[in-house]
Structure 1
Amino acid sequence: MAEEQISVATHGYTEDSIRSLDWREHIRLRPGMYIGKLGDGSAYDDGIYVLVKEVIDNSIDEHVMGHGRTIEIKISEDKVQVRDYGRGIPLGKVVDVVSKINTGGKYDSKVFQKSVGLNGVGTKAVNALSNYFLVQSVRDGLMKSAEFSQGMLTSDPKPQKTSQRNGTLMVFQPDDTVFKNYKFYPEYLENQIWNYVYLNAGLTIHFNGQKYYSEHGLLDLLSRKADPESLRYPIIHLKGEDMELALTHGNDYGEEYYSFVNGQYTTQGGTHLAAFREAIVKTVQDFFAKSNKVKRYDAADIRASIIGAVSVRVQEPVFESQTKTKLGSLNMGPDGPTVRNFVIDFIKEHLDNFLHSNSATAEALKKRIEQSERERTDMAGVKKLANQRAKKANLHNRKLRDCRFHFGEGKHEEEAETTLFITEGDSASGSITKSRNVQTEAVFSLRGKPLNCFGLKKKIVYENEELNLLQHALNIEEGIENLRYNRVVIATDADVDGMHIRLLLLTFFLQFFPDLVRNGHVYILETPLFRVRNKKTTIYCYNESEKQAAMRQLGRNPEVTRFKGLGEISPDEFGKFIGENIKLEPVILQAERSVQQILTYYMGKNTPARQEFIIDNLRLEKDLVISDVLPLAEVPEEDLA
């Protein structure tokens, strides 16, 4: 029996089974190893933005080393162009640096002491995953170019004389067979550009004709991200040789952090952010306990409503993935202190000195902490009862149809795409439940319109059973660090009631869990409004213009069905819309508009700005299509003034 099992196990496993892939084949076969998830551009960390970042990072590193103060970036629907004015790639290595793994100048630590990209992979991945890729270097009157397609060299002319300034140009078009139905969201690109200029003093970036420049670094970042009217005290800005931080408190619930390493936005934090959060708490506790002789404040009260940014520069940083979204380094450099000790010591010294020197800021901080303490104490009783009810309700039964994998468990690749669909009514939830992927997709069913949370205190979340069950299903009661689903998808009918439920849910998230939206976890599910078909072909259409085009394509008298609600779509059909070709519209908070501005505009009582907007944009019913409805946070800026 044992011999038979061995025979079966080894059958077909010969020398011919072993394959050696060249660099481009491996990148194209396993792109996730190099750029994370592929996506379609609807999430800020989708692959197409990683491609953009990898190219810009090289130009940033040139600037950091003192070469080139301007970068020009042009991004259209399908093409990215980045031109810097640094030293230019050595002409004899132009082809190698974008087509040979482990080739680059950053292995010489004397040249690039604290750069972002150190592994020689970035631009090679961009090259391999692009239909068209151009690299062009100008050095001392000579220009050398090379063109590629999917990593294969297609043009390699000899250097030519030129009058252009020194520097490097890279142009690429993402491969549409890898990045299916992708599109660039301007908000994500703009945030990337702003982060680069905040972290690099003296750098000017021209992006699609607009100039981006920052004079005060992280102070400018928080000034742009936070609503000045809601800040409890002026932004604290501290800067040293290898560290910079900005800190303040607002009125929104949750914690809001922006962390960076060597100019890289570490969206998942890491050792530097953990040390930053720890050091802020300890320094503030010690300051007030000693100077004002008050009790030591609770860490949760100090961090409540905090808005902070931290940037460190580390020699030879170690990240936990190729996309560099989480710092794994324990030390500042080969012979340097630990990251944790460096950050804690810096904050302990500089923040403590600042608070002693700025008594008005210290007093305002004290009042904000004590307000959070009162709110927490007031909520303690109802919170305990609500949590007991939630435990008895059995989340895996009545409201939530759970999935097998959960975001953040760190055991399975599937966790990155775990999704919770929030639906209205039994019919819609039934269709999604029957057609979903039970490994990664869960469903939470609402029984009707949820409570309007605008202007309410967080205590109401515990008093309202449905909202309490929803926060427990997401596991965000104490913050989003333990969020169970990477994507929270609002799936409502495309009618007036569905739009209202959508707005009420967004109000709930923005009022009490704004960092869930800020971190790109909330989406709107787009489902087709029409089905156009004949005996041979079926076409699903998402708006009126697509319907008209489908009718022309199918010829005479096609059958046209208008889906009035999600419950009318059969489970078999629904599976086509929530699978590989799912259409999700991200909910994006534009940095220039605060949460309270947005909520007041949409949910405030008869605001004049909203009345004027409705009148100015009124449509007759026969002219109205769903694409005319503005997503949240996309109202013209003048209407929020």
Structure 2
Amino acid sequence: MSETTKYTEDNIRSLDWKEHIRMRPGMYIGKLGDGSSADDGIYILIKEVLDNCIDEFVMGAGKTIEVSVQGNKVIVRDYGRGIPLGKVVDVVSKMNTGGKYDTRAFKKSVGLNGVGTKAVNALSSYFRVESNRDNQSKAAEFEQGNLVHEEELEQSSRRRGTKVTFIPDEGIFKNFKFRNEYIEKMIRNYVYLNPGLAIIFNGEKFYSENGLKDLLEDSTNKEDMLYPIIHLRGEDIEVAITHSKTQYSEEYHSFVNGQNTTQGGTHLAAFREGIVKTIRDFYGKNYEASDVRKSIIGAISIKVMEPVFESQTKTKLGSTDMGGKLPTVRTYINDFLGTQLDNFLHKNSEVAELMQRKILQAERERKELSGIRKLAKERAKKASLHNKKLRDCRVHLGDMKNDRRLESTLFITEGDSASGSITKSRDVNTQAVFSLRGKPLNSYGMTKKIVYENEEFNLLQSALNIEESLGDLRYNNIVIATDADVDGMHIRLLLITFFLQFFPELIKEGHLYILQTPLFRVRNKKQTFYCYSEEERKDAIKKLSGKPEITRFKGLGEISPDEFSNFIGEDIRLEPVMLDKAISIESLLEFYMGKNTPDRQKFIINNLRVELDTVEE
């Protein structure tokens, strides 16, 4: 029998807890990434530590949490009860150990699987935990989940609570960089869901008195709102609703037990259904559901006993029951809206009138569009059968059971050579390519009609699957991949205009990026460096002795498919497109794509924090 066919006890090995986490990190924290996306692993590590601090606050222990991120080191300090001193090492290094299995203490807790801080510990090159309680202190230090130093129990006058310090392991999170905007967003969500809690991040205090009302106010410019936010609270439920003047599609923020369920679930489906039912009953009209919900911006937070999520990272609720003797999630939310939203509309006739006017306007627009929409759908269907523009991938964002779904990416490219290079070098499992033919149309000031009339926009909308709502988005990352020259810049602006005009929530939710591609290749016979700036080029020349060969890349088409795999693989550099919430979308677009103004370039750079590299030719 040959060596390869032997199958004995020696082939079977059990991984210990930390080996398993390090070998299969995606099972515990979603995707790895480098910090350019809000759902990259380094932010999930912070979230796992913060979840424990939040649970302390919910239990009435500790009203302040301090978070510090300096370089690649994270420190999180709460003033809760502190981990029981005899269990400090176990809680962060033994699977299925934790206080949350005792449901008397944590009835509606966030993290119930006992994995959280253990995953952080296993995926950190340095991890330290310190607990202070009963005037005593206990601490332990780990490297990659291995205990390297355990301090003796000592007397201490420090305030009670837990302090965790960690550095993500660079062997697992390659070239990572923390982006404060993403950490701030996570922290804001925590304070909206926990009024009365203060989180201090790098010295700045975050605090909310009005919960989800503050969330909608902070995420949407007031000028873009049709009417003041409707804010309703119940024992285990809180909702906030308004309609946008400018955006076409629906936008929702949903939470369960303080967990941001970015993929929605049973509670979000019930919220959308409950709004329509209540509004139909209030006006006594059987309005089309899509007309009622068009342009709606809503947020819902519910508390459920022992929730069931559809994925390890808890982004989609699967539970149908509230827990205990309570009714189903659907009945509970429908009943709440049927009473509270109905009462609100009876008491606030001005809001009710504005809402009805918006529904009737949506109805008119839908009827005007119905013919062209039908034609466009038929065209898109036909095109998708032999769609040369889209080269799809196998894994999509909606594949909840696939642990690579967060890596799903659509590259939007221009020109055959660039599309060809990306197509040949991409990962066919998670990376799709959509090819533009020349410059897209400037959609500034146009109505939704243009999305159906313009074949390119119609096919792009169809590829992304976002016509009705963001809930069906097929790719987690939408990446604009154009040359870094004047034409490439213009295409970027036209595409960003399209998304701002018709799908701004795609940008708000952090799905849109610019692909950074190298400007230079510096190499000798032994080593090759790809440089993204003049500074990196100079550093590369210093590292290579003698006279290295320097190539200047003028366009994506010049980069061979073999080389391209270096820029869209694990070393991919993405620059997120972010909106400044202080500026209304309407005024942003006016400045951005309206009549030219001298301030425009400066304004774009300040308000869409994207590195718009101007390259000297």
Instruction: Give the distance between the partners of 1:113 and 1:9, measured in 2 at CA.
Output: 54
Equivalent of 2:440 in 446, 450, 462: 450
Matched, 1:530 2:520: yes
Q: Residue type of the partner of 1:202?
A: G
Q: How does 1:207-356 map to 2 (within 5 A)?
A: 207-251=201-245, 252-289=247-284, 295-356=285-346
Q: CA deviation at 1:272?
A: 1.0
Matched, 1:389 2:379: yes
Matched, 1:357 2:352: no
Would the aligned equivalents of 2:34 and 2:40 in 1 still touch at CA under 8 Å?
A: yes
Q: CA deviation at 1:484?
A: 2.8
Look up the match of 1:123: 117
Look up the match of 1:56: 50
3-state SS, counterpart of residue 378 of structure 1: helix
Q: CA deviation at 1:153?
A: 0.9
**Residues 366 and 78 of structure 1: is their aligned pair in 2 closer, same or farther, counting only changes over 3 Å?**
same
Matched, 1:199 2:197: no
Q: CA deviation at 1:489?
A: 1.3
Would the aligned equivalents of 2:51 and 2:111 in 1 still touch at CA under 8 Å?
A: yes
Would the aligned equivalents of 2:579 and 2:607 in 1 still touch at CA under 8 Å?
A: no
Would the aligned equivalents of 1:532 and 1:540 in 2 still touch at CA under 8 Å?
A: yes
Matched, 1:156 2:132: no
Would the aligned equivalents of 2:250 and 2:468 in 1 still touch at CA under 8 Å?
A: no
**Residues 101 and 611 of structure 1: is their aligned pair in 2 closer, same or farther, counting only changes over 3 Å?**
closer
Q: CA RMSD in A?
A: 2.0
**Residues 68 and 521 of structure 1: is their aligned pair in 2 closer, same or farther, counting only changes over 3 Å?**
same
Instruction: Give the distance between the partners of 1:195 and 1:397, measured in 2 at CA.
Output: 40
Post-superposition CA distance 1:362-394 (Å, at most 9, x none): 111101111111111111122222223333434
Equivalent of 1:562 in 548, 552, 557: 552
**Residues 55 and 183 of structure 1: is their aligned pair in 2 closer, same or farther, counting only changes over 3 Å?**
same
Matched, 1:380 2:370: yes
3-state SS, counterpart of residue 581 of structure 1: coil
Q: CA deviation at 1:335?
A: 2.8
Would the aligned equivalents of 1:98 and 1:127 in 2 still touch at CA under 8 Å?
A: yes
Look up the match of 2:457: 467
Would the aligned equivalents of 1:225 and 1:592 in 2 still touch at CA under 8 Å?
A: no
Instruction: Give the distance between the partners of 1:630 and 1:589, measured in 2 at CA.
Output: 10
Look up the match of 2:162: 168
3-state SS, counterpart of residue 499 of structure 1: helix
Would the aligned equivalents of 2:236 and 2:302 in 1 still touch at CA under 8 Å?
A: yes
**Residues 633 and 600 of structure 1: is their aligned pair in 2 closer, same or farther, counting only changes over 3 Å?**
farther
Q: CA deviation at 1:613?
A: 5.4
Q: Residue type of the partner of 1:266?
A: T
For these two proteins, the number of residue pairs brought into alignment is: 610
Would the aligned equivalents of 2:576 and 2:610 in 1 still touch at CA under 8 Å?
A: no
Q: How does 1:464-613 map to 2 (within 5 A)?
A: 464-607=454-597, 609-610=599-600
Look up the match of 2:73: 79
Post-superposition CA distance 1:436-461 (Å, at most 9, x none): 23333222211211111112111011
**Structure 2 runs not aligned, ≥5 long:** 612-617
Look up the match of 2:608: 632
TM-score normalised to the size of structure 2?
A: 0.95
Instruction: Give the distance between the partners of 2:401 and 2:95, measured in 1 at CA.
Output: 29
TM-score normalised to the size of structure 1?
A: 0.91
Look up the match of 1:183: 177
Would the aligned equivalents of 1:81 and 1:170 in 2 still touch at CA under 8 Å?
A: yes
3-state SS, counterpart of residue 170 of structure 2: coil
Would the aligned equivalents of 1:94 and 1:145 in 2 still touch at CA under 8 Å?
A: yes
Look up the match of 2:615: none
Would the aligned equivalents of 1:510 and 1:517 in 2 still touch at CA under 8 Å?
A: yes
Q: Residue type of the partner of 2:328?
A: T
Instruction: Give the distance between the partners of 2:2 and 2:293, measured in 1 at CA.
Output: 59
Q: CA deviation at 1:411?
A: 6.1
3-state SS, counterpart of residue 262 of structure 2: coil
**Structure 1 runs not aligned, ≥5 long:** 1-6, 290-294, 615-628, 636-641
3-state SS, counterpart of residue 521 of structure 2: strand
Look up the match of 1:111: 105
Look up the match of 1:102: 96
Q: CA deviation at 1:590?
A: 3.9
Would the aligned equivalents of 2:137 and 2:153 in 1 still touch at CA under 8 Å?
A: yes
Aligned-residue sequence identity (percent) comes to 66
Look up the match of 1:42: 36
**Residues 118 and 307 of structure 1: is their aligned pair in 2 closer, same or farther, counting only changes over 3 Å?**
same
Q: Residue type of the partner of 2:277?
A: K
Would the aligned equivalents of 2:224 and 2:585 in 1 still touch at CA under 8 Å?
A: no
Q: Residue type of the partner of 1:445?
A: S
Q: CA deviation at 1:26?
A: 1.3
Would the aligned equivalents of 1:187 and 1:590 in 2 still touch at CA under 8 Å?
A: no
Look up the match of 2:84: 90
3-state SS, counterpart of residue 183 of structure 1: coil
Q: CA deviation at 1:579?
A: 1.9
